A and B are shown apart, each in its own frame.
Chain A
Amino acid sequence: MLLEARGITKSFAGVRALDGVDFDVRPGEVHVLLGENGAGKSTLVKVLAGVHSPDDGRVERAPGTRLAVIHQELALVPNLSVAENLFLGRPPRRFGFVDKARMRHDAQRLLDRVGLRLDPATPVGGLGIAQQQMVEIARALDLDAQVLVLDEPTAVLTDTETDRLLEIMAELRDRGVGLVFITHHLDEIRRIADRITVLRDGRSVGVLPRGASVDRMIELMVGRAIAERYPRRRGTPGEVLFEVEGLTRAGAFQDVSFRVRAGEVVGIAGLVGAGRTEVVRAAFGVDRYDAGRVKVAGRVLPGHDVRAAMRAGLGLVPEDRKAQGLVLTSTVGDNLGLVTLRSTARAGLVDRVGQRTRAREVADALRVKTSGLGQSVRELSGGNQQKVVIGKWLLADPRVLVLDEPTRGVDVGAKVEIYELVNRMTAAGRAVVLVSSDLPEVIGMSDRIVVMAQGRVAGELPAGTTQDRVMALAVQEFPA
C-alpha cells in the first residue's frame, strides 16, 4: 500500500465535505475516484496531498512515497518556455548557473515521453489548453512521483489526446506507479480503471471492481437509476430563427453557413481547433468577422456588437464558465441578474426587488444547490455554477440560445437536468445551438449535426447518426 486514508472527515464552515471516507492506493493500479460535482472528490485529493488536514481520521504514506497532483486549474507560467516550466524552481545547474543546453535536452526527452511534438523553447502561453495539460503531466513524470493524482485531466482533451494520456497512464501503472484518476467520462473509466471508489455527498458509497457497468456507476453516483442519458424530445421545427451565412474570418473560419429553426437543436461537432467556438463568438458579436452575415428571425445583425445581438434575441453560454461566464467575486443573485441588469433598469436604477424575485424563481426552476442568492458563486460546485450561467440567460428569454460546451466538467445528474432544460426551450418554440466535444451528447441531443473541420463546415448529419460518421467528417482535410 502506497497511501492509505482511513475515516477521513472534513468540514468547512459547518458543512461536512467528507464523512468517514476510506481510500487507498496500491502500487501499479489506476484507482478511479468517481462522484458528482460537490461529492467531495477535490477535498479528498487535497487531504491526500496534505493541503487540508482532516478533522478526523488519518492518512498514512509508505516511507519515501512522493505524491504529485495535476489539478484542473493549470499551474504553468504562461510567459516562460515549455522547458523552463518543466524545470520550474529546479533547473539543471552547472557551476551555479542554469545549464540551458541540458534543460533543453531533458525537456525534449520528457516531451517525447508524453508524445508531445513541440519545441521546448515555445512559450507556454501560446499553447492550446490540451498541450498545456500534457506539459503539466510531463512535469509530474519528472518529479518521479510514486503516486500521481489526475484531477479531471481529460475534460479539456480531444479524443486522440485522451487516448495518448490513457496510454501513458497504463505505462506508468506498469512501472508500479499508483494512479488516482478523476473523470466524468465513464467510458474512460471502463477502459483504464482497476478499482472505482464512488463518493456521494461526502461519503464513500461503494467500491466497484474493474469492468463495472456504466449503469451501476451512475446509479451509485446519483443514488438512483437514470432512465435516459440523452432524453431529447423532438418536435416539429417551425420558421427559421437563426441563420449564419458565409461567415469568414481569415485564419479562423471560412464560409461557414447553417440555419436553425424554432424548436430545433442543431449540434456543432468537430475537433478542438476546428473553429466552432470562434464561429459562435463571432456570430454573437464578441469578435469580428471579415465577411458573411448573421440573421436572427430574418433581421441581419450588425457585426461585433453583443448588445445588438442580445436585443435581437440571441444568447451565448460561453465555453469557459469561470473565465467567461461568471463573476466569481459576486453572489449567486448578482450573477443570475447580470444579463437582465440593463433591460430591467429604469432611468439607470436597478430593479432590485424584481431582479431578486426573478433570480429566486430561476434558481428554483434549475434546482441550483445554494444556501441562498447571497452566497458567493465561487463556493458552488461546477455543475451548479454552470446552471447559474445558463440561468442568467434564461431570464433574458432569448429566441436563440447558443450553448458552448454546456456540460463540460458537469456530473451526470446535472447534465440530464441541462438536457431537460434544452427540451423545455425548444418545446416553447426557441432554437438551440449545441457546440460540444462530447460526441455521444451531440448525437444524443441534436436534431441535426453540423460538423466542422479546419474552420469550415465539413458536412451535416441527421439525428441518430454514428460517432464514426461524425469523426469521418471531423478529420476531413481541405486543400489550402
Chain B
Amino acid sequence: MSSTVDGRTAFARRALADNGALAGLLLLVVALSVLAPSFLSTQNLLNVGVQAAVVAVLAFGSTYVIVSGGIDLSVGSVAALSAMVGAWSSAEAGLPGPVALLLGLLTGVVAGLVNGTLVAYGKLPAFIATLAMLSVARGLTLVVSQGSPLTTPDVVSFLGSNLTPFLPVPLLVMLLFFGITGFVLSRTYSGRAMYAIGGNEEAARLSGIDTKRQKLVVYALSGLFAAVAGMLLAGRLSSAGPQAAVGYELDAIAAVVIGGASLSGGVGRATGTLVGALVLAVLRNGLNQLQVSPFWQQVVIGAVIALAVLLDTLRRRTR
C-alpha cells in the first residue's frame, strides 16, 4: 500500500520538476483562489477552460511546428480566414452548414500546405514564409467578408455552445485536440520524425527521413488546427469577424514556450503546451477578477512569459 502512495508522490514530484510550468500554474491557481474568492467557482473555472480553448488548439498546432524547428506566424490570420470561408459558404453561397465547416477546415489545410511548400521546397525561412501568409490570409479574410462580420452556420455555433450547463463544447474540443496532439507526437512516425528534424535535420535526412514531406505534414497540421481554433472562436460569437484572432499567433507561441518547448527545435510536449495555454487563460481571468486594468494586464502577461522561460532555462542549466 505505502509503496503505491510513495510511487504516486514520486510521480507527482517528477511531473512538477519535469514541467516548471505546471508548478507555476498550480501556484497561480492557489494565489488567485486566495485573492479572488470567486475564482474557484465551477462556473468561473469552466470559463477559464473556454477562454483557454482557442489559444490551446492554435498552440497544439504550433507545437508540431516548433518541435520540428520551425515557426508559424500565420495561425491567427489562418484561423480568421478559415472561419470566414466557413461563414461565407453558408451565409452567402447557401451551402449546407457541415459542408461550409469542411470548406473552412480545408482552407486552413491549404494555407498550411502553402506554408509547408514554401519552407520545404522553396527553402524560405519559416519566419518569412509564414509572415507572408499572415498578411495574405488576413487580406483574403477582408476580401471574402468585404470588411464586415458574417453569421456562422449552426454547426459552427454549436462548437461555441454548451452541451449541458456544465459541459462547454470548446472545452471538449480542446481536450480532444490535446489527446490527438499527444498521440501524434509520441506514437506516430510523423511525430517522431518531427523531433528528429527539429533536433538535427541533417541527421534526420541521413537516417532516411523524408524531411521535406514531413515538413509539409507539420505545416498542414498547423493550418488545420488553426482552422479548428478559428471555428471555436467564431462559434462562441456565432459570427466570423474580419479582425478575429489578430495577434493570437503570439499567444500560441507563448503557450508552447511556457510549456517548455525550445524554439531551436527538438523539444516540446502536448502536456506542456496545454499547461502553457492554461497559464495564459488563468492569468487573464484572474487579473480580470482582481479588476486589474487591461493595460496593466498586458504588462503582467509579458512579464510572466519572460519569467516562465527564464526559470525553465535556469532549471535546465543547474542539471
**Chain A residues near B (Cβ < 8 Å):** 13, 284, 286, 306-307, 310, 316, 318, 323-330, 334, 337-339, 341-342, 345, 348-350, 352, 392
Query: Could you tell me the distance between the alpha carbons of A394 and B287 in the complex, rounded to whole angstroms?
Result: 57
B210 interfacial contact with A, CB 8 Å: yes
Q: Lowest 6 A-B CB distances belong to which pairs?
A: A329-B266, A327-B199, A329-B199, A338-B207, A345-B189, A310-B208
Query: B residues within 8 A CB of A392?
Result: 207
Q: What's the minimum C-beta distance from B204 to chain A, rounded to whole angstroms?
A: 7
Q: A350 and B192: CB pair below 8 A?
A: yes
Contacts of B202 in A (CB 8 A): 323-324
* B189–A327 touching, CB < 8 Å: no
Compute how far the CA of A431 lies from the CA of B203 in the bound complex, rounded to whole angstroms. 23
- With a cutoff of 8 Å between Cβ atoms, the chain B residues found around residue A310 in the complex are 208
A345 to B210, CA, bound (A): 14
For B288, list chain A residues within 8 Å (CB). Answer: none
**Does B205 belong to the interface (CB within 8 Å)?**
yes
A interface majority secondary structure: loop
Q: Let me know if A327 and B206 touch, CB within 8 A.
A: no
Per a CB cutoff under 8 Å, which of A306, A337, A345, A349 touches B206?
A306
When chains A and B are docked, how far (Å) is the Cα of A348 from the Cα of B214?
12
Q: Contact at A329–B203, with CB atoms within 8 Å?
A: no
A349 touches B192 (CB 8 A): no
Q: Are B209 and A338 in contact (CB under 8 A)?
A: yes
Enumerate chain A residues within 8 angstroms of B205, measured Cβ to Cβ: 286, 306
Q: Which residues of A contact B191 (CB under 8 A)?
A: 350
Residues B189 and A349 in contact, CB atoms below 8 Å apart: yes
Say how far B14's CB is from chain A's closest CB, in angstroms: 12
In the bound complex, residues from chain B placing their C-beta under 8 Å from that of A338 are 196, 203-204, 207, 209
Residue B110 lies at the interface, judged by CB distance under 8 Å to chain A = no
Q: Summarize B's interface: helix, strand, loop or mixed.
A: helix
Query: For the complex, is B200 an interface residue (Cβ under 8 Å from A)?
Result: yes
Given A329-B262, A330-B196, CB of A350 within 8 Å of CB of B188: yes
User: Are B265 and A329 interface neighbours, CB within 8 A?
Assistant: yes
Query: Are the C-beta atoms of B203 and A327 separated by less than 8 Å?
Result: yes
Residue positions of B touching A, CB distance < 8 A:
187-193, 195-196, 198-200, 202-210, 262, 265-267, 319
Among A13, A328, A339, A348, the residue within 8 A (CB) of B207 is A339
Q: List 27 A-B contacts (CB under 8 A).
A: A284-B206, A306-B206, A307-B210, A310-B208, A316-B206, A318-B206, A323-B200, A324-B200, A324-B206, A325-B203, A325-B206, A327-B195, A327-B196, A327-B204, A328-B200, A329-B265, A329-B267, A330-B196, A339-B208, A341-B192, A342-B208, A349-B189, A350-B187, A350-B189, A350-B191, A350-B192, A352-B187
Across the interface, name the chain A residue whose C-beta is closest to B210.
A307
A309's nearest neighbour on chain B, judged by CB, is B208
Decide yes or no: A324 and B189 within 8 Å by CB, A329-B267, A341-B209 being known contacts.
Answer: no
For B189, what are the chain A residues with a Cβ–Cβ distance below 8 Å? 341-342, 345, 348-350
Provide the residues of chain B in CB contact with A337, threshold 8 Å.
192
Residue of B nearest to A310 (CB): B208
Given contacts A318-B206, A329-B199, contact A341 B267 (CB under 8 A): no
Chain B nearest CB: distance from A397 CB in Å? 14
Find the A residue at minimum CB distance from B268: A329
- A286, B195: Cβ atoms closer than 8 Å: no
Are B195 and A306 in contact, CB atoms less than 8 angstroms apart? no
- Which of A13, A323, A329, A349 is in CB contact (< 8 Å) with B319? A13
Q: Nearest chain-B residue to A343 (Cβ)?
A: B208
Given known A307-B210, A350-B188, contact A327–B193 (CB-CB < 8 A): no
Do residues B188 and A327 form an inter-chain contact, with CB atoms below 8 A? no
Known: A345-B189, A349-B189. A330 touches B266 (CB 8 A): yes
Residue from B190, B191, B199, B204 having most chain A Cβ neighbours under 10 A: B199
Q: Which residue of B lies closest to A12 (CB)?
A: B319
Residues of A within 8 A of B196 (CB): 327, 330, 334, 338, 341
Least Cβ distance of A378 to chain B in Å?
10
Q: Using CB atoms, name the residue of chain A closest to B265.
A: A329
CA separation between A349 and B188, bound complex, in Å?
4
